Structure 1
Amino acid sequence: MSVVYKITFPNGKIYIGQDRTDTLTYFGTLNSNLIEKDFTKEEKRDFTMRKEILWESETASKKEVYQMEFKFIREFQSNNPNKGYNRNPKFKG
């Protein structure tokens, strides 16, 4: 099962990713340095993220999964540094 998911961080910023194995504990290839800059040491001590499945398919090709991931990145503007942590595709604000 392939899925596209959205992770919401405590500061409201989001990350859109994909997982072609539908693993519950997979949270993508996030840039931890980028994210950590947004949180104080104290905020990092008690940290809750929310993972939501936006789309799923048992038959989608790798290309189709990437297309859906990028569709949601654009839709939610998670590549806008003010709204999210995706850096690709480049935000054209």
Structure 2
Amino acid sequence: MTLEDALKVVGASHVIAAVDWIDNQCTAEDFCNLYRRTGRKPPRHRYVEYEGRRYPAKAFGYLVLQIAGNTVQTDSDLTVNMVTGPLKKFGVKAAR
């Protein structure tokens, strides 16, 4: 499944699974394991917030999409808005 296909099927359960994975694999604000798993780099300034906790926007979005079924690792790089926009309906919002 491509990233674009995963964007069509992503749901709240995928967001919750991503948060659980991060809680188990990352410590405090150290998201090295998240960057390693998703192939993303640390953000310069873009973060999202879910249930009061901040996450790197693009890496978080990519993790949710991986959990939703993205298996193609050669996809072109999507923008932050493309990977996090659909997550807004599940309570993920831009963090300042």
Q: TM-score, normalised by structure 1?
A: 0.28
Identify, as 1 or 2, the structure richer in helix: 2
Q: TM-score, normalised by structure 2?
A: 0.27
State the structure with more CA Rg: 1
Identify, as 1 or 2, the structure richer in strand: 1
